[in-house]
Amino acid sequence: MPTATPIDCPTHGKVLSVNDDSLVFAPFGTSYELYLRTAEHYAGPTNTPVEVVIRATARKVWTVPSGGNFIAPIKGPPKIVQGRVIHADEKQLVVRAGAMFLIDLPSAEHAVDLPDGPITVGHMVNVTAFPGATVEILARHQTSASPGIPHVGTPGDAPEAIG
């Protein structure tokens, strides 16, 4: 199976605030405020819909028999990610855990513990991540008064209509 690409695992949400080399991202439908590093300073708008890819490197991965999808802590840099595997290959996982995470697997054999069987799509995993999870902005979206319908403006917004 080929390595996952960013388009395989987008998360929708909004950027709440920006620092020099990081930002605070809130995935839609959650109360999480994830502190994530950026490759360069994010100069885009805040509090508007965006589509992102969140990447993390696993320190340790376990298969688990049950439990919910979660990210810990709720506010701060992600340290633990638990959720269902959406994609798996020998180098990466995509895990749905309140947000989609593209996880680089550890290279050391002892860093992957499989007490509940092998890592497969649909299986639950618990990931302890190294510090420094990152975010990449894929797209910014216009807000819409009607969900599912793109914002196209109104005739009254046209410069010739104002005046």
Tokens of 156: 């009254």
Q: Is residue 154 over pLDDT 50?
A: no
pLDDT band at 7 (very low <50, low <70, confident <90, very high): low
Which are the contacts of 157, defined by CB distance < 8 A and separation ≥ 6? none
Question: What's the pLDDT tens digit per position in 35-44?
Answer: 999 999 999 9
Report CA torsion sign: 145, 51, 9, 116: negative
Whether 14 maps to a domain, the answer reads yes
pTM as predicted: 0.80
Residue 78's closest CA among 28, 129, 29, 12?
A: 129
pLDDT at 108 (0 to 100): 81
Whether 159 maps to a domain, the answer reads no
Whether 24 maps to a domain, the answer reads yes
Share of the chain above pLDDT 90, in %: 63
Whether 153 maps to a domain, the answer reads no
Tokens 């593209």, residue? 102
What CA–CA distance (Å, rounded) separates 19 from 138? 19
Whether 76 maps to a domain, the answer reads yes
Q: Which residues constitute the domain of residue 23?
A: 6-143
Query: In total, how many domains does the chain have?
Result: 1
> What's the chain's Rg over C-alpha atoms?
18
